[in-house]
Structure 1
Amino acid sequence: MSHWARNAVIVANERAGGAVSVPVADVAEACQRLVGEVGVVRTAYPGHARTLAAKAVRDGVDAVVAVGGDGTVGEVAGGIVTAGEGTEVVAARPGLVGPALFCVPAGTGNSFYKEVWHDRPWREALAAAFTGARPRLRRLDLARVAQTRDIVLLGACSGLVAEALETAAGLTRISGRARYQQAVAATLRDFAPHPARVVVDGEVVHDGSVVLAAVGGGRYRGGGFLLLPHSVLDDALLDVCVVTGDLDPLELPGLTREGRHLERPEVLYRRGRRVEIERTDGAPLTFEWDGEVKRGRTRYALDILPAALPVLAPTAESV
C-alpha cells in the first residue's frame, strides 16, 4: 500500500478542551505507519501553533497534523497560509503546493473536523488521508480579519456564541461537544442581546438588536449548532446569519440543531465577500473566531480569501 507523504509535523495543543481523550503519542504512532518521517511539536502559549506551522512550511514538510480544537486548527491554518504569502512555495509532491492540513479532533467543539470528515473516527480519517500515491486535497476558503490581519478558518461570531465560549473556558470537568452545549445553557440564563450594525458587501442588512451575527466558513459551531446550513467551504463566499433581538434567545439552541432558525422571520441570511459587524452603543463587541474570544474593539470586518488552504479530505464518494 503506497503512502504519498515523506514527512509530517504534528502540532499538538495538549491544553485544548478535549485533548486528554486523544493522546499525542497515539496520533504520532498512527502517523508513523503512514508517513516516512514524523515530528512532534507542542504549543506553549496562545498563538504558538501559528509559529510552529509557519516553521513547518519553511522546512518543506508535506503535511501538518493539528491536534487540538478549532482554535488550534485555526492557528495552524493561519501559519500555513501566512508563511507562504509573498514567497514561492515549491510543490513537495505532485498535486501538493506547500504542506496540506489534517486535524485530529481534540477540542471542545471540533466543528472543523466535522465539516471535513463528518463523524468518521479520526484514525480511519487519518489512514484515508495519507494512503495512496497522491494526496486528496480540498482547497478551502479562509477569511481575514481586517483589523488584526488574523486568518479565520471556520468562522466568526458575535453575541451568544462568543459569550458561551467564555463560559465554556470555566467548565473544566466537561470535554468535547457536551462542554459547549452546557456553556450555552449557562450563558442563556443572563444573556441580553446587543445593538449592532451588520454590513455585507457595503449594504446594511441589519441595524438594531442582535442575539448573534455569525460569519463563515463552516456550517457548524460548537460541534453541533447548525448556524450556517447553506455554507460551502470552497465557494469563494462568506455566509452570514444574523439572529435579531426579536427572537427569544432561549429558542435558538433547539432551532439551530437542524437549521430551523432560517424558517423564522427574525433571522436574516446573506452571502458576500466582505462582512462588517459593529456594536453601535460604544461598548466593546464580544467577538470570536475559530473558538478564540476577543474583546476591546467595537467593530470587526472580515474579507474572503478564496481557495487559500490545501486540506486533506475524503473523496466525494467516501463522505
Structure 2
Amino acid sequence: MSHWARTAVIVANGRAGSAASVPLAAVTEACQALVGELSVVHTAYPGHARTLAVEAARDGADAILAVGGDGTVSEVADGLVAAAEPANGRPALLCVPAGTGNSFYKEIWQDRPWLESLTTALATRRPRIRNVDMARVLETRDTVLLGACSGLVAEALETAAGLTHLTGRARYQEAVAATLRGFAPHPARVIVDGEVIHDGGVVLANVGGGRYRGGGFLLLPHSVLDDGLLDVCVVTDGLDLRELPGLTRDGRHLERPEVIYRRGRRIEIERTDGAPLTFERDGEVQRGRTRYTLDVLPAVLPVLSPPEPFVTV
C-alpha cells in the first residue's frame, strides 16, 4: 500500500521531560514503514526546533513529526508559520508526546497511545489535516500555539525556573504551590474586539489556543482550534485561590461568577497601575511591558488529526 507522505522529518528533543517513555528509535522504526523518505534531526539549543522546522518546510517535506513536549511543538509550529510557504502548502505537523505536559497532543489525540496516532496519521492515502489557528503577539511579533497568560500562571513559570532540584510535573506543581502562598492579584483591563470585559483585579487572564494548559488544566473548555477565534478566560480577584487548581481540572471554574469567558479576534491585556505585566506565551515568560495584544492567525497551521470529527468537552 502506498502512503501519502513521500518525505517526513522527525524533529527530536532528547531533553523533553518524559522522553524515555517514547523511545526515538521506536518512533523512527514506525515511520520508516509509513513514509517514502525519512530524516531525523535533533535539537541542540533552545529555539533550534524552530530553525529545523523552517529548513524542513523549505526543503518540501510533507510531514514534520515533533518528538518532545509542548515547547518543542510550539517551536516547530512557529517555524512552519515563519517559513516561506511552498507552492504545495506547508508540511503537516504530527505531535509525538515526549514531554511533561503534552497539552497540544492531548488537544488533538486525547488519550490515544502515540503509536496508534502515528499510524492513523501516516498509514493512509487521505489523511485528515486540520488547519489550526494560532495567534500573534502584536508587541513582540511572537506566535502563540498553546496559549498565553498573565498573572498566576506566568509567575508560577518564573518560580519554576528557580526550582532546579525538581524536574517535570513535580517542578511545576511545587512552583504553583509556592506562587500561591505569596501571590497578589494585579489591576488590569481586558479588552475583546474593542469591548472592555473586565477592569479591576485579575488573578490570571488566559488566551488560547488550546483547551488545556500544563497538560491537564482545562482553562478554556469551549475553545475550538479552527474556528478563527481566540478564547479568553479571566479569573478575577474575588475567587479563593486555593480552589483554583481543582476547579480548572475539569472546567468547573466557568460556573463561578468571579470568572469571565469570551471569544474574539483580538484580545488585549493591560496592567493599569504602570507596573510591568508578568506574561507568558507557550510557556516562555516575558516582562517589561504593561500591555500585550494578541491577534488571531486563522487556519495557518496544518495538523495531522484523527479521521473522526473533533469533539469538545
Q: TM-score, normalised by structure 2?
A: 0.93
> 2:24: which partner in 1?
24
Residue 275 in structure 1 maps to residue 275 in structure 2:
no
Deviations 1:60-92 (A, max 9, x none): 0011111122122111111111213xx5x222x
Q: Does 1:70 align with 2:70?
A: yes
One-letter code of the match for 1:239? D
Give 2:36's aligned amino acid. Answer: G
Instruction: Report the CA distance shift for 1:197/1:47 in structure 2 as closer, same or farther (over 3 A).
Output: same
Residue 16 of structure 2: SS of its match in structure 1?
Answer: coil
Q: Residue 30 of structure 1 aligns to a residue in which SS?
A: helix
Deviations 1:269-319 (A, max 9, x none): 111000011122222222111122222222111100111111000011697
Cα–Cα, structure 1 residues 52 and 185, in superposed 2: closer, same or farther, change >3 Å? Answer: same
Q: Per-residue CA shift, 1:162-208, capped at 9, x if unaligned?
A: 22223344366443x55533432332222221121111111111111
Partners of 1:158 and 1:62 in 2: CA distance: 36
Asked if structure 2 preserves the Cα contact closer than 8 Å seen for 1:108 and 1:179, the reply is no
CA distance in 2, matches of 1:174, 1:47: 20
| SS in structure 2 of the partner of residue 46 of structure 1 | coil
Q: 1:90 aligns with which of 81, 87, 90?
A: 87
Change (3 A) 1:275 1:102: same
Q: Aligned AA for 1:143? A: A
- Partner of 1:220 in structure 2? 212
Question: What's the CA shift string for 1:235-266, capped at 9, x where partnerless?
Answer: 11000100001112111011111111111111
Pick closer, same or farther for the CA change 1:122–1:178 going to 2, 3 Å.
Answer: farther
Question: CA offset at residue 225 of structure 1?
Answer: 0.7
Shift of 1:10: 1.1
Identity, in percent, stands at 75
For 2:98 and 2:191, the matched residues in 1 are separated by 34
Question: Is the Cα–Cα contact under 8 Å of residues 149 and 207 in structure 2 kept in the other structure?
Answer: yes
Farther-moved stretch of structure 1 (275-284 vs 214-223): 275-284
Computed over aligned residues only, the root mean square deviation of the Cα atoms, in angstroms, reads 1.8
Task: Compute the displacement of 1:116 (Å).
Answer: 0.2
1:231, distance to aligned residue in structure 2 (A): 0.6
In 2, distance between residues paired with 1:187 and 1:317? Answer: 39
User: Match for residue 303 of structure 2?
Assistant: 311
| Distance (whole Å) between structure 2 residues aligned to residue 317 and residue 138 of structure 1 | 10
Separation in structure 2 between the aligned mates of residue 62 and residue 179 of structure 1, nearest angstrom: 36
Q: Which runs of 5+ in 2 are unaligned?
A: none
Counterpart AA for 2:87: V
Match for 1:300 among 292, 296, 300?
Answer: 292
Distance 1:190 1:15 in 2: 31
Gaps of 5+ in 1: 92-96
Q: 1:71 to 1:207 in 2, by over 3 A?
A: same
Q: Which amino acid in structure 2 is aligned with residue 106 of structure 1?
A: A
Question: Structure 2: how far apart are the matches of 1:61 and 1:204?
Answer: 44
CA–CA separation in structure 1 for the residues paired with 2:17 and 2:181: 23
Number of aligned residues: 310
Given the two structures, how large is their TM-score scaled by the length of structure 1? Answer: 0.92
Q: Which amino acid aligns with 1:11?
A: V
Return the alpha-carbon distance in structure 1 between the equivalents of residues 21 and 167 of structure 2. Answer: 11
* Residue of structure 2 equivalent to 1:94: none
Asked if the contact 2:12–2:40 (Cα under 8 Å) also holds between the matched residues in 1, the reply is yes
Residue 109 of structure 1 corresponds to which residue in structure 2? 101
Amino acid at match of 2:18: G
Residue in structure 1 matched with residue 281 of structure 2 by the alignment: 289
SS in 2 for 1:316: coil
> Which one-letter code corresponds to 2:137 in the other structure?
V
On the 8 A contact 1:3/1:130 being kept in 2, the answer is: yes
TM-superposed CA distance for 1:106, in Å, is 1.8
Deviates more, 1:186-195 or 1:166-175: 166-175
CA–CA distance in structure 1, aligned partners of residues 2 and 184 of structure 2 = 55
Partner of residue 264, structure 1:
256
- 2:162 equivalent to 1:165: no
Kindly tell me: are residues 106 and 294 of structure 1, through their superposed partners in 2, closer, same or farther at Cα, counting changes over 3 Å?
Answer: farther
Structure 2 counterpart SS, 1:276: strand
1:203 is aligned to 2:195:
yes
Q: Measure the CA separation in 2 of the matches of 1:159 and 1:184.
A: 12
Q: Does 1:143 align with 2:135?
A: yes
Name the SS for the 2:83 alignment partner.
helix
Does 2:9 align with 1:9? Answer: yes
Is the CA contact (8 Å cut-off) linking 2:127 and 2:307 kept in structure 1? Answer: no
Matched, 1:132 2:119: no
Whole-angstrom distance in 2 between the partners of 1:171 and 1:313: 36
Distance 2:278 2:22 in 1: 30
Give the Cα–Cα distance (whole angstroms) in 2 for the partners of residues 109 and 285 of structure 1: 25
Q: Secondary structure at the match of 1:189?
A: helix
